[in-house]
A and B are shown apart, each in its own frame.
Chain A
């Protein structure tokens, strides 16, 4: 990951040029393009926008959405909201961890999956819930969770 193609980001930076308070939007677009915010990418954003690197880093570390580590092809968001907690989100997390064989934030060896815990996905009436690539899966059990992951892995429900 030494050579990042910054030309992808150039038109986005141009769009926000001179726009006060656009740092979060710039970082969101950068993450969308590159999947995560590497130190090189953050340094590039700081240089191009003229915002001090410390501030860029400060914002990138403050918000939960920004990923400072690379992620797998399919990003699993495990809801840890109140309703999910009461209805057994711990069991879902265990099923995901056991199936993938990695810890939170890590990439599976095949590069397919990373899972992260999130505060609340707002699908509380279907708790416990997880979201994969912006699609929510509800009323989960350990077995159902594994079924969903297997489908994605085998390409039936892939991104």
Chain B
């Protein structure tokens, strides 16, 4: 408090600035430590000759030499890049068109569509993979029906193009979100001018709207590239039968290649992945800054008049959106539901004869499975609350922070995101194991929560920051001028004003925690299982019926979370 400082020794505003800097520095410093422990461990491990906990481990570059001369690594790298680029090629145009239709035209059912088109981004990619296998795999229900009619199945989802199309379609909402945000801010007078001078709808889209939203689209493309590089669930499920490996699944394979886990090699791949993704994140952030600037150029207060689609246009547009939703939501979720309730499927099988509830009975009977469900709910609901609180504190520390600690925060947040969740989870497992002070939490849900909170940091923080940015700086300045400390300003001014937005953020973080799967694989132990990681570990034995039942539960929980998010008025963004 200001009055603790003897008058005359220090001008009040200096004291104020120092208390703010101190609080911020402390928070950001603590976060930096928490993030750097696993990240630093991974970097250190990559430079050793064997597992860091062996006394015989020596500093060596052998692991880098091995990976960088392994043809399988380059093959995986190539496949990863192709998949990421393919995903961009599929999702960006579609997402752009979708955004155009929903923001610039008079398309019917706009309200409902604005929510429906977001659904694909909430389905976990591992659930997606299973769903597609059952629905449109070589002997999936839909494939068999198609073959019945035309004599063959015209697609193969276990192929590179198959993975690309599926991944692309499921990432359309990400593009839509960014592009539609940019489009909403655009004035419509230019488009109207084009329309009145006789340009067709397509012409308006390509010649007028597109150039104006290009920065937003490039930004979305960069984001998608990033997501594509880190993708794990889809290639794990769909790439496995034909031996298609991406970097994240290559890490997985490195383990069996040598009979025992070769941590140094896993770490090297993780570090290389960071080296590839960090520049991308940096570029992406630069673009974001520019994109905002472009959007700000639009005329303010000029309400957009929607373009008239016409009857044919309406049918065409709605039909296309419906088709896309059927492919990316109805097919996989239908597949999961189907598989969860039957004990056999495929060629020559009458599904009505195979209906069963046995898989769900197993969920209720087997301790690890029902623990998994309960824990997932606990982590989603309470972990979500704790995470919102943490992210809020961090968000406040970075809020209007132009100093060194602000920049440090920016990069600290990005680091865990650039690493595969599986590896972050493994590193956290070691941190909890080898830091004596943390032993007590290792086998509790808290350890999983901490890892989740760090993995979800960049997403969650962005949700919070979006809320904080809405508060006019004058309000904070007023509090500060009247002598309030930084903490007091946050407590009495900023937090109360952001409270409504926090509820929505909580619901969205809850969904993220529910569908997370890679991070917990190494962390969970008896009693701390979570659904997502259970699915990954069950995949090793191939208990598909239990996996389907778990996926079904996961879908229900996610749907509940999404419902809650909408009720609470969450602002959904990536």
Bound pair: A and B? no
